Structure formats: structure tokens, C-alpha cells
Structure 1
Amino acid sequence: AIWEKLEKMGRKPAVDLTDPDKEFFIEVRDNKAYIFTEKIKGVAGLPLGTQGKMVALVSGGIDSPVSAWMMMRRGVEIIPVYFDNDPYADSSTLNRAIECINVLQSWAPNYPMKTYSVPHGESLGSFIQHCGKKNTCVLCKRTMYRVSYEIMKKENAQGIITGSSLGQVASQTAANMHAEIYGLGIPLYHPLIGLDKNDIIDLARNIGTYRPSTSKATCCSAVPVHPEVNAKYDSLVYEEEMAGIEELVEKAVKNTKIISLS
């Protein structure tokens, strides 16, 4: 049909499979043939939902929304969980996280994202009061995993997604990441583990989460001036006991609520 059309236009068609002036593609499906001249690269991946559900820790920073999106790309339906650090952070951080989750939701219009908000300030306060202050961030992350694991079981999900990138910040050294999971037996996924910050920023811009992730918000005031970078996993278990970890987790789970994205 293309050949005949060109002849009617007074052109002299020829076939060149090595270096053509124009390349046509034909895809046959059922009883129809689709003819096109351009291929536009999509995000690729797997259909959403084919790999089950996972809890995604979303703080509203640059990394965690990108991490959640990357698992969505691999077919995972996500359940966003936000940890509210009040009084060590204000509502601006929650607003930023919700904006990021709304962007993620736009990629999955047929999969409403059930979003949890977990009160986390009491746990942070207990760590500051009863534990070595430099361990606050590692103890914080262990508690987030414990609470998220309870949400994971409640939602019949298969894992927990984090925004960790090895060595990017003080709390994400290899030693600290070992200490964060010691003795917990929780299925964790770190899609960004081998990426550097520029890689992650590029992805954030491409998927639309960079602008809300960089909007003005307060930083967590519980972060120590000199955080631990080489945590001793065995000592953290003792410090958790001093802080009353079981009661903290139980109370956090009990007071967790579902928030609206609108």
C-alpha cells in the first residue's frame, strides 16, 4: 500500500534495508495491522499489581517517592506510609509527602493508594531521653520498620520499600543498614541502593516528584549533630529495651490513621 501510494504521487520507491530514508513498522494484532513510523519509549516494566502489594515509606524527600515509583514500575501496588515526627517536625513535611504521593497516584489512576500516617514523635522522644543520642536515626529507622511490618501484615502485603541509597547520608552506611535490620526478619527492598544523588534527582524530575519534594518544609529536629555512622547492632537491641520499644511500637500502631490525599 505504501509502495502504490508513492507511485501515485510520482515518486520512485525503492527498498533499502541497510540505510533507508524512512523506516516503517507494522504490528499485526488479531485482524488489524498497525502501521507507524516512530517508537516512543515508555517507562517499561510490568503491569501494576502483578507483583502484589508492598508498604512504601514516603517521607516527602527526594528519594522515597522515586523508590516507590521504581517498585510500581516493576508491578508492585504500593501502600504509602508516612511517619509523623511531631513535635520534632511540623505539618509542612506531611503536606510535602502528600503532594508526592498524589504524583505517584497519577501514575496509577485505577489503584487508589491507601495512605497511613504513623505518630512517631513519642518514639523519638524516648530514644533521645533513654538512649545514646548519636543512635537516634538508626533506632528511628528500626522502629519505622517494626511499625511498617505490622501494617504490611494487616494489608496482606509482601514487603517494605525504603529510599535508602548506600553511603548517601550518615544513617545509610553499610554498618548502619546492618544494624537497622538486625534481628527483625522483615522483608525490605531498597531500589535506590546503588544510585547516586544525581541519578535519583534525574528520575524525580522525570516522574514529576522533584518539585514537591523540594518545596519548603522543616527538617527533623531530632537528628543529632553527630549521628552514628558505624552502629553496633548488638548494643542497639539493649538501647531499644531501655526506651521501651515494644510499648512504643504497640502505641504507634494503635494510633496509626488513614489520611486523605485530596
Structure 2
Amino acid sequence: MSPPGADTVLVRHGDLNTKSNTVKRYMVDVLCENLEALLADRSIPGDVERKWNRPLIHTTEDAVEEATDAATDAFGVVSASPALTVSTEKERIIEALTEAARECYDGGAFAVDARRANKDVPYSSEDLAREGGDAVWAAVEDEFEPEVDLDDPDVTFGVEVRDECTYVYLEKRPGPGGLPLGSQEPAVALVSGGIDSPVAAYEIMKRGSPIVPAYVDLGDYGGIDHEARAMETVRLLSEYAPNFDMDVYRIPGGETVDLLVREMDKGRMLSLRRFFYRAAETLAERVDAHGIVTGEAVGQKSSQTLQNLGVTSRAADLPIHRPLLTRDKQDIVAQAREIGTFTDSTIDAGCNRVTPDRVETNARLEPLLAHEPDDLLERAEEAAKNATLVAP
């Protein structure tokens, strides 16, 4: 909801405020670059300005809603508000609140949240909030009986008085939070045709790490539909990061999957995951990434018990990051829907077709090594070296 004449987006960040001044300046610069890229990618008119410790997007009234939506897709943004820019004169602020009330306030309890960074103005925040509240009340009392609730209002009229101007807004639209994308080192993200891995990739991006997407081609156990789903989820993730390369490394794994199905029964899925991890680690060395990201969660599948995760993780020396480790499936599905990566889950996942009748939930490394192909990890390294780039 925008006040009449809104022409600016106030962008707020959170974790950046915990950093040293030097690091914070760097991260705000990265955030501004990402905001500019999102606006350009979506053909939204607007100029990004770094101002009083937070970015501003100067745009038009027609585009302010789209610009706000773009801002709330930027990693590192806690919230954003479409706002009207007026002078610091109290009379002009009161006029803006009156007009906003007449146009946008049609019932429920309200509050005026006034903040004053410019201490040179001849009024206090309390004065402005009180007089602003009176103005809102007077603007609508002929239409309905307004109600004031300072603790839990239905509508909050926000006012921020700064050095040169004042911003009036009606909502704080939530963003993803986290850190600006590109402020941390990249990681290889293993993506599949399932629900979990793109959400895990999104979560690591949210902490500032660009991803290098990698898809393991399972041959006959994957198929065109499975790969198409993986590519589509990466394409959707790339909309949050238009200034980052999101081409997918396709790692050939069909021959190895066939081998595991023929030669292994118990522990087969664990050896397949060991293949994934070593391939991802080899790719990470190739692209100078600093970790591996997966969508695993404790106990979600038989291969994801704590014991099994410990065994499979030993196939790689790089850290394996699992952002969804303690998440419930329904929460992951809800987030997949929210970020747009949820797709038809009735399509069989390739690794499900590899699963043997008898699953291993409490593996030990030595017995597993005795049953898996001796050259499994060498196969993984070779497959990663032969990986090809595919545009999502």
C-alpha cells in the first residue's frame, strides 16, 4: 500500500548493521549494485542512492510498487516501503498524512510512527506523532469512527524526517533478510528435480554466497523431465540474482548409477551420495568455490540419518553446507511455493528409482567401502572434469 504520490522506496537492512564500518560500507555497496541489477533486469525505472545508512530507490509513482517488490527480492533487505517524499516542514508532513488517510485508511485501528533524524527541525518526534494522529483522525472521522492502537495497529502511518526531506509511508514490506549476494564466497549447489535442493540454494544465497549450480545426470534413472525440473528451478533462482552467472554444470553420472544398481544393494544410496559429494568437490576446485550445498535434512530420508550423513560426508574435504538440516518438510514446501521453485512433485525423482528394497540407516564406513566400487571416487572426479555448462 502506497501513499498518494509515492516516488521513493526506503530499503532497510539488518545484519549489515552488526558489521564494522568498513565491512558495512562494502556490503551496502554490494547491496546497491544488486538492487540496480534487479531494477534493470525487470525494466523498472529507478535510481539507487546510498543515503543515511540505507539505500533509497528514486522512481515514479507508476513504478513504485514494482520497485518495492524488486527491493524485497534482494538478499540482505529486511523490509522496504514505498514512500512519498516531502519537505521537513511540519505543515507539509501533516498535509501528506491527511491525504494518505483520506485515500488509504478505511477502517481498523491506526498509529503514527514518527522518527526524527534531523534534530534541527523545530518539533519533536512526539509532537509530530501527536499532531499527525490528530490529522489522520480528522481526515476520516466523517466516514467512520477511527481507533488508535499504538501497540498493534491495523494501519501504521510511518514518518521519517531526515536532513533534507521527509518520507511518509504506510507499510514495511518484508524482504528475505540475510546478507547481500556476493558479499561471501561462492559454493557449489547440488540441484536436482526435487523440492529441497533449490530451497537450500536460496538459503545459502540469502547468506551472501553466489551459487555454482551442479546437476548430476543420472542417465536412465533421471530422464528429460527430471533434468528439466532442475533447470527450471535454477532459472527461477537466477531471477533473484540477475547480475550473477547461473549456468548449470551438468555432471555425467549415468554409467556410475548403472554400476551401483548392478553391483550394490544395501548402502547403494550412500555410495551414490559419496559420488555426488566428490564430484561437487572436484567441480568446486575447478571454479574456485568454497563449499558444497545440499538440500538434506536430518531423518528426511534413510540416507539422511545423522550416522549416514557422517559417513557420506567423508567423501569430501570441503565443508558440506545443509541449510535445511533441521527443517520440517512442510516448511520447506511452503518456502518453495513462496520463492517460486515448487513444481509438480508427482514426477519421480531419479534417486528414488535407485533406492534398493532394503535401505541402510546406520552405516559404517569400512563395510560400505568393502561393497562399493573401488574406483567410485575416481569416477566422480573424472565426471566433474567432464562436466558441461548448460544455460537454465
- The TM-score, its normalising length taken from structure 1, stands at 0.87
Equivalent pairs: percent with the same residue?
A: 36
- 1:17 is displaced (CA, Å) by 8.4
- 1:217 is displaced (CA, Å) by 4.7
Distance verdict in 2 for CA 1:27–1:115, change over 3 Å: farther
Pairing of 1:17-56 with structure 2 (within 5 A): 18=150, 23-27=156-160, 31-56=164-189
**Deviation readout 1:15-72 (Å, 9 max, x if unpaired):** x784679643233566333211211111111111111211101002010000100111
**Deviation readout 1:173-222 (Å, 9 max, x if unpaired):** 111101101363221100000011101011011000112x5263554432
Q: Calculate the aligned-residue CA RMSD, in Å.
A: 2.7
Unaligned stretches of 5+ residues in structure 2? 1-90, 99-133, 142-147
1:222 matches 2:313: no
One-letter amino acid of the counterpart of residue 94, structure 2: W
Q: Secondary structure at the match of 1:98?
A: helix
Q: Is the 8 A contact 2:278 2:381 kept in 1?
A: no
Pairing of 1:78-227 with structure 2 (within 5 A): 78-130=211-263, 132-182=264-314, 184-211=316-343, 214=345, 216-217=347-348, 219-220=350-351, 221-227=353-359
One-letter amino acid of the counterpart of residue 49, structure 1: G
Q: Secondary structure at the match of 2:309?
A: helix
Q: Which has the higher contact order (CA 8 A, sep 6+)?
A: 1
**Deviation readout 1:129-162 (Å, 9 max, x if unpaired):** 44x4121110011111101011111111111000
The answer to which of 97-106 and 227-236 deviates more is 227-236
Q: Give me the whole-angstrom Cα distance separating, in 1, the residues matched to 2:137 and 2:379.
A: 81
Q: Is the 8 A contact 1:90 1:218 kept in 2?
A: no
Q: Give me the whole-angstrom Cα distance separating, in 2, the residues matched to 1:137 and 1:125.
A: 12
What is the match of residue 259 of structure 1?
A: 390
Task: Give the length in aligned residue pairs.
Answer: 256
Q: Secondary structure at the match of 2:138?
A: coil
Q: Is the 8 A contact 1:128 1:136 kept in 2?
A: yes
Q: Give me the whole-angstrom Cα distance separating, in 1, the residues matched to 2:357 and 2:246.
A: 35
- 1:96 is displaced (CA, Å) by 0.7
Unaligned stretches of 5+ residues in structure 1? none
What is the match of residue 249 of structure 1?
A: 380
1:11 matches 2:138: yes
What is the match of residue 205 of structure 2?
A: 72
Q: Is the 8 A contact 2:274 2:315 kept in 1?
A: no
- 1:250 is displaced (CA, Å) by 3.5
**Deviation readout 1:53-93 (Å, 9 max, x if unpaired):** 11101002010000100111111101110000002221111
Q: Is the 8 A contact 2:186 2:290 kept in 1?
A: yes
- 1:229 is displaced (CA, Å) by 1.1
Q: Is the 8 A contact 2:200 2:294 kept in 1?
A: yes
One-letter amino acid of the counterpart of residue 11, structure 1: A
Q: Give me the whole-angstrom Cα distance separating, in 2, the residues matched to 1:218 and 1:169.
A: 13
One-letter amino acid of the counterpart of residue 364, structure 2: K
Q: Give me the whole-angstrom Cα distance separating, in 2, the residues matched to 1:9 and 1:42.
A: 28
Q: Is the 8 A contact 1:80 1:101 kept in 2?
A: yes
Q: Is the 8 A contact 1:82 1:97 kept in 2?
A: yes
What is the match of residue 57 of structure 1?
A: 190
Q: Is the 8 A contact 1:58 1:81 kept in 2?
A: yes
Q: Give me the whole-angstrom Cα distance separating, in 2, the residues matched to 1:171 and 1:245.
A: 18
Q: Is the 8 A contact 2:278 2:377 kept in 1?
A: no
Q: Give me the whole-angstrom Cα distance separating, in 2, the residues matched to 1:168 and 1:137.
A: 14
One-letter amino acid of the counterpart of residue 97, structure 1: A
Q: Is the 8 A contact 1:49 1:77 kept in 2?
A: yes
- 1:3 is displaced (CA, Å) by 3.4
- Which of 347, 370, 389 pairs up with 1:238? 370
Distance verdict in 2 for CA 1:26–1:116, change over 3 Å: same
